[in-house]
Chain A
């Protein structure tokens, strides 16, 4: 029991916390008299440096192992690098944003949310996971409300907060019931106990309640009601963070809980062979999410709201991966979620740039964007086609791995009904993505607008994301290989 060992494992999080507090203080103490632009650039750069420092730290030290409540599987390096990368691009997108005067607070909350996500990945103890979820959630609630001039932003934040706290209560109640029946909080210990116990109604209540809490976090229907409002009304860089980084963390921890903790209460989701457990719950959540998300997205006329419904649908696709057996489930889920996060962050980045030039997120604001900003429009084309799952972009391979994973699991071809739903709804989804692209490439630009006023750091970030989407489409092995390498080291205790 050497506390230094613990410090070694959580050093990245500690460094990031120190940076977050520095950002907060720099703004309050030294930059008060400066103009908003200077403060934005200084504090924003500090946050960027923070993410880069921690990324390099993790790449060099590669902390691994476990201590008390912290357990780092090998795949956690990669996930943390991805999370920090997403946070970095979010910071880049918000460099020239004007939604708030509270610049230090904004970047500090962003970094603290990143810390929460990293802790979420690091822990295998339900209590610690809950604390990490709360750290992320509270930062996100506050960031959603940061635009004090917008009543919609405050309304969305309140809605997010109320839904979120009810979901947290469900999760906590589920965890307490699990603790009641197993006497354990460590996931591996819970798994051990569950294996020896006869499953009773109370086990299923505990399981469903815990899953409800996480279904809210990943905005799976029918727990999705907060998502459209929050995505729409939150300042765009924050919406992009909620849609990308927080999804990666939440999906990983959901996978870890169900696969490592509830392994023996799996059940089955085969057509005509439903058996009680978490698999049928997730299969139904996935189906409802895919159907509701894709169908409701068709009628949207605001791009951010459309992306919110598409996020719900993509949450459904990602859940399908969990039907596979452990290793395949985690690798295909992570590949899907990571590529999705990269893509959606880029799409929100383009929306942020349109808003930056005085537009909003209506379809008409995107009319003729290809003439106003050719490079960004091309990036948007890449992002939206990848979201729709058009080969050879990475979104296609994500969907492909998830679909094949779903029928490779213990349910085999009996889970094929999920694939049919998934395939049919993804055909539907092409329609609404193309609606946006039609505005960008076909519709004429309004007469009175000039070329887009683009913030340079944001453009760098968006182009980098578009390149990542294309590269991962042509060479998915780059990421998938690393995911599999990471997993083989921990397949026993992930």
Chain B
């Protein structure tokens, strides 16, 4: 058992080795060939699909984007949980109707509280 367990990991180890060699090789190659080539002026600028780069590389984003992203994930996950629940709903109804209904009801209840909270905190108000 022990031998076979370790055998299974040989492809993983090989893949790891190839990954390290490839990453290291490319980095080393870029250093070596970069030193050989000519540099300066237009070659040093960032390549943006042929456009001339304008402004800073890292622009500041409004924090509201993150807020929307978080709220989206929250309610997206809610739907993700609803699917498997809906699939087994009919089967479970025969065994334990209270459990299947009550658990989803309490889950939605807690998320609803979160929704009201976000609403009250003006999280959905873009202009504020």
Contacts and interface: CB of A to CB of B under 8 A. Distances in A.
Contact of A202 (B5, B113, B117): B5
B117 A25 contact: yes
A1 B94 CA distance: 13
Given A21-B113, A200-B1, A201-B2, A29 B120 contact: yes
B2 A3 contact: no
Contacts of A17: 110
Contacts of B2: 200-201
Nearest to B103: A3
Nearest to B1: A200
A1 B121 CA distance: 40
A389 to B, nearest CB: 44
B95 to A, nearest CB: 8
A261 B21 CA distance: 41
Contacts of A202: 5
Interface in A1-53: 1, 3-4, 17, 21, 24-25, 28-29
A3 B102 contact: yes
Interface in A181-230: 198, 200-202
Contacts of A21: 110, 113
A22 B23 CA distance: 53
B23 to A, nearest CB: 22
Contacts of A201: 2, 5
For B2, B98, B99, B117, the residue with the greatest tally of chain A CB atoms inside 10 Å of its CB is B117
A17 B1 CA distance: 48
B48 interface: no
B56 interface: no
A33 B83 CA distance: 42
A21 B116 CA distance: 11
Nearest to A7: B102
Contacts of B110: 17, 21
Interface string B79-90: 000000000000
A65 B47 CA distance: 66
Interface residues of B, number: 14
Interface string B113-128: 1001100110000000
B96 A24 contact: no
Contacts of B96: 1, 3
A316 to B, nearest CB: 34
Contacts of A200: 1-2, 5
Nearest to A17: B110
A28 B121 CA distance: 7
Contacts of B95: 1
A23 to B, nearest CB: 12
A200 B4 CA distance: 12
Contact of B99 (A3, A25, A28, A29): A3
Contact of A28 (B1, B102, B120): B120
A1 B97 CA distance: 11
Nearest to A200: B2
Interface string B16-42: 000000000000000000000000000
Given A3-B98, A3-B102, A24 B5 contact: no
B70 to A, nearest CB: 12
Contacts of B99: 1, 3
Interface in A293-330: none
A145 to B, nearest CB: 14
Contacts of A3: 96, 98-99, 102
A442 to B, nearest CB: 49
Contacts of B116: 25
A21 B111 CA distance: 11
B44 to A, nearest CB: 33
Contacts of B113: 21, 25
Contacts of A4: 98
Interface in A385-406: none
A24 B1 contact: no
B115 to A, nearest CB: 12
A5 to B, nearest CB: 11
A117 B116 CA distance: 26
Interface string B56-85: 000000000000000000000000000000
A1 B102 CA distance: 14
Nearest to B120: A28
A161 B98 CA distance: 38
Interface string A113-156: 00000000000000000000000000000000000000000000
Given A1-B96, A25-B113, A28-B117, 11 more contacts: A3-B96, A3-B98, A3-B102, A17-B110, A25-B117, A28-B120, A198-B1, A200-B1, A200-B2, A200-B5, A201-B2
Interface of A: 1, 3-4, 17, 21, 24-25, 28-29, 198, 200-202
23 contacts: A1-B95, A1-B96, A1-B99, A3-B96, A3-B98, A3-B99, A3-B102, A4-B98, A21-B110, A21-B113, A24-B117, A25-B113, A25-B117, A25-B120, A28-B117, A28-B121, A29-B120, A198-B1, A200-B2, A200-B5, A201-B2, A201-B5, A202-B5
